[in-house]
Chains A and B, each alone.
Chain A
Amino acid sequence: MHVSTDIWIWIAAALTLCIYSFLYKDNPFYKFAEHLLVGVSAGYFFVIYFWNLIVPNLLTPVKNGFVTLFTGGGLTGDLAALVPGILGLIILTRLIPKIAWMSRWAIGFYFGAFQGIAITGYMQAFILAQIYGTFVTAANPVFSLTLFGNFFGDPGWARFVLATSGPLMIVGVICTLTYFFFSTEHKGVVGGVARVGIVFLMIGFGASFGYTVMARVSLLIGRLTFLLRDWLGIIS
């Protein structure tokens, strides 16, 4: 056992214990650590964004632009940085009710620009490619009579899974989409298909929940490893 002599390790360990003390009940130590985290995070992100966004993209080009202008070099493209800079400042008019409407210009510009960038990429990546991938994959056709032929020719668990997983996925997609089709009452055939869709949804939620448990336990493992190894030196 080699207890750390690093003051920062002790501070981190103390803050970790403060946060975990909430599991017993809410208390001032937890509140202190929580508020410290929020404050430090806000300060950290402000500094990061200032030096990585405001300085290189606004202050430096504007300064260079004015220096060039006043030394006889004329107008340069650097001063174009003033346009997004002013739009950014206009967003702050939301704090003044009388002229808050001006902020809509900046927000409208931002939305328009982002939609322009996002629509084509996201449409292709998340809609078209996914629809295509529901029926066709690079490895095997999703629905293949050959795969069923292979299974019936030489029955086995692996061949059964290979042959049926594709059709099962198609059925799952159609049934789940039917569940979210609200223009028709979920009765009769539509109701039955929608209920099958619910089963697929539940299986999906179960998989997500299992992964979520794993994620949360991983965080606990990470913190306890820190306490046992870096702080107390009990494990290597």
Chain B
Amino acid sequence: MNIIEKFLHIDRRYIFILVAVGVIVPLLFPLGLAVTTSPPVENVYNEIESLEPGTPVLVSVDYDPSTQPELSPMTTAILRHCFARDLPVIITVLHPGGPGLALEISDRISKEAGAVYGEDYVFLGYKVGSSAVILSIGQDFRVSFPADYFNTPIDKIPLMKDIKNYNDIGLVVTLSGSTFPDMWVAYGHERYGQKVAAGVTAVMAADYYPFLQTGQLVGLLGGLKGAAEYEKLIERPDEGLKGMDAQTIVHLLIVVFIVLGNVAYILGQRAKRREA
């Protein structure tokens, strides 16, 4: 077996080790590589910046722990931005695995920002039937959410007293690891004309760019990079930016693997033809 054949049949576990090293080393010794912002992320930031203080923002935490590493940094950054701009936040959850995550993040960020529950933010919790919930908010929040997560009637919550439906909401931000942005676009935007921004996992990001072109989404945060860009825009570095060094190193590694694999494959094919 010559060197090319050996290379083509390399044990994949060596690649796993290299990838692990590529992630661990930058986490231990941050490189501080530059992160540039992109228009889809800037558009979300600018949309929130353009809202008058006091304009409610609906943040829908539509993901579960399987996509937490990508989406929780986005949720954290969006909440920080809203609280810093004095924008009341209504938090809903359309994914059954999301309430715990939403509660933990809203508790942590509200304490950090000094936000008061019921006045600066409210957690309405999880509700089954995502399409129906999105449609019902267009009529009245009280249809799907008669009470908040802690069973306090919604009319007894100061923040919600004057909020009836989408007409009272400045922006919907959905953070999702599945197809919930489709529903927000189809029902929230198309049916009620509500402005919608989305934060999605990197796997899904390419599918949502057409919605930016049509204006159905005002902006898009794609994967950990989207979170990192948003952290840069609000000047609050956190898990998104911390992960970018490792992302860059592993991407470079994978590019090298792809190039080497293809070169070895082509050389191997040539050698076989020569032998034949």
Contacts and interface: CB of A to CB of B under 8 A. Distances in A.
Interface string B206-250: 110010011110000011110000000000000100110011001
Interface string A221-233: 1111100100000
A122 B68 CA distance: 28
A221 B246 contact: yes
A211 B203 CA distance: 5
Contacts of B96: 44-45, 48-49, 52
Interface string B184-207: 011101110000000001111111
B70 A218 contact: yes
B190 A129 contact: yes
Contacts of A228: 24, 27-28
B251 A214 contact: yes
Contact of B251 (A23, A49, A213): A213
From B96, B185, B204, B213, residue with most partner A Cβ within 10 Å: B213
Contacts, number: 131
Interface residues of A, number: 43
From B186, B239, B247, residue with most partner A Cβ within 10 Å: B186
Q: Is the interface of A mostly helix, strand, loop or mixed?
A: helix
Contacts of A124: 186, 190
Nearest to B100: A44
Interface stretch (A63-71, A130-138, A179-187): A130-138
Given A23-B13, A138-B215, A218-B223, A224 B202 contact: no
Interface of A: 23-24, 44-45, 48-49, 52-53, 57, 117-118, 121-122, 124-126, 129-130, 132-133, 137-138, 169, 204, 207-208, 211-215, 217-225, 228, 234-235
Interface of B: 13, 16, 19-20, 23-24, 27-28, 67-70, 96-97, 126-128, 131-132, 135, 182, 185-187, 189-191, 201-207, 210, 213-216, 222-225, 239, 242-243, 246-247, 250-251, 254
